[in-house]
Amino acid sequence: MTGPLLGFNTSSMSEPLSLPAQILRDLIRCPSVTPEEGGALDVLQERLERLGFAVERRTSSAPNTPDVENLYARLGTESPNLCFAGHTDVVPVGDEAAWSAPPFGAEVRDGFMYGRGAVDMKGGIACFIAAVEERLAAGKDATGSISLLITGDEEGPAINGTRAVLEWLAEKGEVIDVCVLGEPTNPDMMGDAIKIGRRGSISGEILVHGVQGHAAYPHLADNASRGATAIAHVLMAEPYDEGTNDFQPTNLEVTSIDLDNPAFNVVPAKARLCFNVRFNDTYTADSMKAEIERRCALGAANTDLRPGRDPVKFEIEYQARPSHVFLTRDEALVDALSVAVSDVTGRKAELSTGGGTSDGRFIKDVCPVAEFGLVGQTMHQVDERVALEDLETLTAIYDRFIDTYFERAASS
């Protein structure tokens, strides 16, 4: 944006950047769209090594997925080991022309820093590192270790990311005692919500088989759209549950119905339904699948649209691995985060399990995990941005959390 009135450089006129904002600027300027490392791990490695962390990087590979580089860094050898987990990869910028600032420019304007990953979640990583850096500068001691588990594969297939790092850490006998994940958890303002769990997620497709024929002779055919409609109906009509104390109700959405039939006068032989279900702790992944299969069989046998016919034939194919539901009941962790949030913001954070999946689903198998980060409003959007003030607030919250966690661990 240049012109006689707008030609000044807004960033040079504002205050010097805070430490978390400086770190975030360096990270945003690395174009680390999944699966590209983009220089983001180099920025972290350089900074963490300077602070005394032992930094290790490893590239993970698996068939049919891009290679991904990950980083694990640890300061100290004592236990407990408090780990911060996050991802430096970002989603694509989308329509770059629609951005009002360059997506990898880290431009500062009117109290905000713009750029892909500003809140999801390079900002969270910058704040955690700033908190540690400021603690060290102030001579604060941790009665344990502080570590970072940073992946480049959260927004992608998530096969070569956190899951791979956890396997690698297990192999070398590395123990993580507690983990805070820095995803943007606050819907509107800092202090809104701590995530203590996530619903599970399963996607799949259902192939419905009919018999092709002439639209004028339907008795000689079996229109696959009829069976597919009945199955879509039973999958979405009845509630799966009413929700639980900790979770929203389970919900399934049919996300696509395809007949791939270009001819108006041909009865289609095949229909394909895609679905995604978000399920709470009423179900395990297996019992969720069993319920889906039960409903499909019910829909297949429904004769409203196919009077006098045998149940329609169908197959279900699930996508890769399901995301398991998780809920953290570790009071020490949740309490230390809640105290930190209220000390810094004066607000009582809601303990939430809403939203999509996160890498917490992998970490929960290793240690208690909870999530707290920035305000998520602009994540994955054009003009993703973070309030500079929020960066300082989150840095203070992480600092307070580290204090509280180690104090309590030492006295228990």
Binding site residues, Zn ion, CB under 5 A:
120-121, 183
Closer CB to Zn ion, 359 or 399, in the complex: 359
Q: How far is the CB of 120 from Zn ion (least distance, A)?
A: 4
DSSP string for residues in 120-182: TTHHHHHHHHHHHHHHHHTTPPPSSEEEEEEES-SSS--SSSHHHHHHHHHHTT----EEEE-
Instruction: Name the burial class of residue 2, with classes exposed (0-12), middle (13-18) and buried (19+) by CB atoms within 10 angstroms of its CB.
Output: exposed
Question: Which residue out of 26, 120, 154, 403 is catalytically annotated?
Answer: 154
Closer CB to Zn ion, 120 or 281, in the complex: 120
> Is residue 89 annotated as a catalytic residue, yes or no?
yes
What single DSSP character describes residue 309? P
Q: How far is the CB of 291 from Zn ion (least distance, A)?
A: 29
Q: How far is the CB of 391 from Zn ion (least distance, A)?
A: 16
Instruction: Say whether 298 sits in a helix, a strand or coil.
Output: helix
Residue 297: in which H helix or E strand, if any? Answer: helix 285-301
- Nearest CA-CA partner of 110 in 101, 119, 97, 98: 101
Closer CB to Zn ion, 26 or 120, in the complex: 120
Instruction: Say whether 105 sits in a helix, a strand or coil.
Output: coil
Q: How far is the CB of 87 from Zn ion (least distance, A)?
A: 6
Tokens of 328: 């953290």
Q: Which residue has the tokens 């809601």?
A: 350
DSSP β-ladder status, 178-181 and 369-371: parallel
Q: How far is the CB of 164 from Zn ion (least distance, A)?
A: 17
- Nearest CA-CA partner of 401 in 139, 112, 83: 83
Closer CB to Zn ion, 142 or 386, in the complex: 386
Question: Is the Cβ–Cβ distance between 235 and 254 less than 8 Å?
Answer: yes
In one-letter notation, the amino acid at residue 238 is: E
Q: How far is the CB of 46 from Zn ion (least distance, A)?
A: 23
The phi and psi torsions of 64 (rounded to 5 degrees) equal 65, 20
Closer CB to Zn ion, 121 or 336, in the complex: 121
Q: How far is the CB of 198 from Zn ion (least distance, A)?
A: 12
Closer CB to Zn ion, 228 or 391, in the complex: 391
Q: How far is the CB of 217 from Zn ion (least distance, A)?
A: 54
Closer CB to Zn ion, 120 or 133, in the complex: 120
Distance of alpha carbon 123 from alpha carbon 142, whole angstroms: 23
Question: Which residue out of 89, 153, 281, 403 is catalytically annotated?
Answer: 89
Q: Which residues pair with 351 in a beta bridge?
A: 194
Closer CB to Zn ion, 69 or 183, in the complex: 183
Distance of alpha carbon 275 from alpha carbon 31, whole angstroms: 32
By beta-carbon distance, which residue lies closest to Zn ion? 120
Which residues, in sequence order, are CB contacts of 332 under 8 Å at separation 6+? 178, 368, 405, 408, 409, 412
Distance of alpha carbon 390 from alpha carbon 127, whole angstroms: 10
Instruction: Name the burial class of residue 119, with classes exposed (0-12), middle (13-18) and buried (19+) by CB atoms within 10 angstroms of its CB.
Output: buried
Catalytic site residues?
89, 154
